[in-house]
Amino acid sequence: MRGAVLLGSILGTGSLAVVAGFVAAERSIPPGQPALRLAILAIVALVALAGCAGLWLTFGVLLRRMNPSLSSRDVLTRAALAWWPAVAFVPLPPSLAMNGAAAHHLLRTPHEGRTFALYVALWIVLLHVGLVVAAVVAAGALASRRMRRLDAKSAVGGVWDTAPPGRVPLLNPFKLSGIATVVALAVTGTALVNWGFVQQLTMRQGEFQSHFQAAQAMMRGELPYRLQLDIWAQINVPPATLLFVYAPWMVLPDVPRLIVYGTLHVAAFATAVALLLRRILSPAIPIATIAVLVVLVGSIYAPWRESFWLGQPNGFIFLSLTLALFSALRRRWVVSGALVALSLVFKPFASWVLLYFLLARRVRALAGAAVAGSALLAVSVLVSGFEVWQAWLVDKAPLLMRGTTHHTSISLPVLHNRLFLTSHAYYLSVPPPDLPLAAILNGVASLSALLLLLALVRPGRAPDDRIGQVLEFSLAVTVALMLSPLTWLHYATATLIAFVALMAAVGRLPAARSVKRTLAGLGVAAFVLLSIDQELLLIRTSKLWEQWPLIGSISNLGLPLLVAAVAITLWLKDRPAVHHTPAEDGRLDVGFGAPGGRGEAAGGANAPTRAAPAAALTPAATR
């Protein structure tokens, strides 16, 4: 990993210097003087390279002074990490040398060139600032190691409200008071009526209806895809989805069909949230608190609101991925892989979970996914026919892989497309044109995500390290959503797995309070950005598009922030400088068949109590 980061950063800064020299030579020297242009290119490139190297060295020295415990290799790697986005410039120098037309298309289009350079520069600056802040926080965390050991409540999670006889039970921070319960129920009840019934149900789950009609047409032997319409007005799901998700509802009449589907959809969402809260965050959360949280999240989280409003099956996908995670935690890898394959039948956006299984060397999970996926595919081909699949693979899939710029899609590739188009891109009903610079940014983002998973996923992670597995799984789901060419807002319902994992892990991190607050802040910011109503955002900001056309893409920052928060949390948990034992992570296992069950976790030998504060504050107890 060090080699990949160093090589990419060196090549990136070198390419950046060459591109800067090329632009300077093109603009300062008229055509017909190639020797002079080459000289200017070389001089400017050397100056730019020297400036990058100087900043690299200065940044490394600053990191070393802030955190003297870092080794020279760590300092070099972290300083290089700040230049990693410059790897986006690597494809440009070869195009300058080999193809003048490509160079013109890539570099001399004024709007595209400026936008591309500004976007990469912003990422470089953001990483520089982030690493400086991280160095300061790390230095403070090391200095406050003793304070962290005294933080007994954070060390044990502070979530169990039962204790053996003779001991005073810990307070349960998740238990709501009577007044808080009344206020919470009033607020969430109002939101549920407005968002859940008045708006959502009056839409009559329109996209469920259109997909159901397409499934009916397919079962009659007709082609379900209305290819004569604009791409986003067509039916865009594969035949397997039409067969397994929508065709079974043909047995019910119209009104009962909508009622039963909507009820089961909400039940799947509520079940998934309740299971995550009770089994990942804390087994001691009262049922009333869980009910309030389910209603609150279902009322204010825009991805779920839109999913319910449109009738999209993301509640079922969310439940399927949640059960796949629980099966993995129980070491039932075949079942876990099969459930992930089932989620891919609903919507194929969680494909990076399969890559996570591969990196974690969970062969049985991959086998389960392969068997289940092959069986579902075979049945789909036999029932729907090869012609339908041929139409999907030839006419539909290539267009969908080109992505979109539509306002309700929130992935990074969508943002990269909008960088090089006007504000009207938010309402384009056709796939975007070929944008080479956007393709370069997409490639760099995918490579960065792959390196991130390679660095953080531990092959064969210990069974006791449940929180590590939860973070790895949720990271794969969020990365998949972030990098998909099509991530409609309602797909992000599945990110609730990552939010709950982040809440559980941050509370148990043996780190300074400033670190925990920073990570929690990143999670809150991601939740807020993803909860923005896209329609209202575009309406309220349309007057600003002439100067700031990307203001409508602010929601696209939610997934990168969530990825960063989960990745940093996982790294802090696994870093060697923090001493913890599997027993600490095992406290998450209540409800998963951990030895001793709930009673042992609540009142085991390591549970600190108010009756024995001295024992609770020893390093052994906090582990």
For 320, the enclosing helix (H) or strand (E) is helix 314-329
For 607, the enclosing helix (H) or strand (E) is none
Mean pLDDT of 447-474: 91
Q: What is the pLDDT of residue 232?
A: 66
Other CB atoms within a 10 A radius of the CB of residue 576 amount to 5
3-state helix, strand, coil in the chain (%, to 5): 75, 0, 25
**Residue 199 or 584, more confident:** 199
**Identity (one letter) of the amino acid at 231?**
I
Question: Measured between alpha carbons, how far is 340 from 322 in angstroms, rounded to an integer?
Answer: 9
Please give, one letter per residue, the 3-state secondary structure of 467-515.
HHHHHHHHHHHHHHHHHCCCCEHHHHHHHHHHHHHHHHHHHHCCCCHHH
Q: Are 348 and 317 in contact (CB under 8 A)?
A: no
Question: Measured between alpha carbons, how far is 555 from 531 in angstroms, rounded to an integer?
Answer: 8
Burial class (CB in 10 A: 0-12, 13-18, 19+), 615: middle
Question: Taken in order 430, 433, 437, 440, is the CA torsion positive or negative?
Answer: positive
Res. 7: pLDDT tops 50: yes
Res. 594: pLDDT tops 50: no
Enumerate long-range contacts of 433-439, CB under 8 Å, 24 or more apart. Answer: 435/112, 436/102, 436/105, 436/106, 437/106, 437/112, 437/115, 437/116, 438/413
Q: Are 321 and 349 in contact (CB under 8 A)?
A: no
**Which residues are bridge partners to 409 per DSSP?**
488
**Residue 282 or 83, more confident:** 83
Other CB atoms within a 10 A radius of the CB of residue 191 amount to 16
Tracing tokens 């790897």 back to the chain, one arrives at 87
Mean pLDDT of 358-376: 93
In this structure, what DSSP letter does residue 349 have? T
Question: Measured between alpha carbons, how far is 211 from 181 in angstroms, rounded to an integer?
Answer: 40
Residue 105 pLDDT grade (very low, low, confident, very high; cuts 50, 70, 90):
low
Measure the CA dihedral 333/339/341/344, to 10°: -140
User: For 409, phi and psi rounded to 5 degrees?
Assistant: -100, 135
Q: Could you please report the per-residue DSSP string of 60-105?
A: HHHHHHH-TTS-HHHHHHHHHHTTGGGGGGTTHHHHHHH-HHHHHH
Which of 98-107, 229-238, 462-471 has the weakest average pLDDT? 98-107
**Identity (one letter) of the amino acid at 280?**
I
Mean pLDDT of 286-311: 85
User: For 376, phi and psi rounded to 5 degrees?
Assistant: -65, -40
Which has the closest alpha carbon to 302: 528, 76, 90? 528
**Identity (one letter) of the amino acid at 99?**
N
Q: Are 467 and 504 in contact (CB under 8 A)?
A: yes
Question: Measured between alpha carbons, how far is 495 from 502 in angstroms, rounded to an integer?
Answer: 11
Residue 191 pLDDT grade (very low, low, confident, very high; cuts 50, 70, 90):
low
Q: What is the pLDDT of residue 65?
A: 80
Q: What is the pLDDT of residue 559?
A: 95
Residue 564 pLDDT grade (very low, low, confident, very high; cuts 50, 70, 90):
very high
Mean pLDDT score of the chain: 79
Residue 152 pLDDT grade (very low, low, confident, very high; cuts 50, 70, 90):
very low
Mean pLDDT of 535-547: 76
Residue 395 pLDDT grade (very low, low, confident, very high; cuts 50, 70, 90):
confident
Question: Measured between alpha carbons, how far is 225 from 231 in angstroms, rounded to an integer?
Answer: 10
Tokens of 46: 């050397």
Q: What is the pLDDT of residue 315?
A: 92
Q: Are 309 and 408 in contact (CB under 8 A)?
A: no
Tokens of 387: 């012609």
Residues 6+ apart with CB under 8 A from 618: none
Question: Taken in order 410, 416, 419, 420, is the CA torsion positive or negative?
Answer: negative
Q: What is the pLDDT of residue 609?
A: 37
Diameter of the chain measured on Cα atoms: 93
pTM of the full structure: 0.82
Q: Could you please report the per-residue DSSP string of 382-436?
A: HHH-HHHHHHIIIIIHHHHHT----TTB-SHHHHHHHHTS-GGGGG--SPPPP-H
pLDDT tens-digit readout, 403-425: 888 888 899 999 998 888 877 78
Q: What is the pLDDT of residue 340?
A: 95
CB neighbour burial string for 511-524, b if at least 16 within 10 angstroms, e if fewer: bbeebbebbbebbe
In this structure, what DSSP letter does residue 578 have? S
Question: Measured between alpha carbons, how far is 285 from 161 in angstroms, rounded to an integer?
Answer: 9
Q: What is the pLDDT of residue 584?
A: 42
Question: Measured between alpha carbons, how far is 337 from 363 in angstroms, rounded to an integer?
Answer: 9
Tokens of 358: 């591969």
Question: Measured between alpha carbons, how far is 112 from 121 in angstroms, rounded to an integer?
Answer: 14
Res. 201: pLDDT tops 60: no
Res. 548: pLDDT tops 80: no
Res. 530: pLDDT tops 90: yes
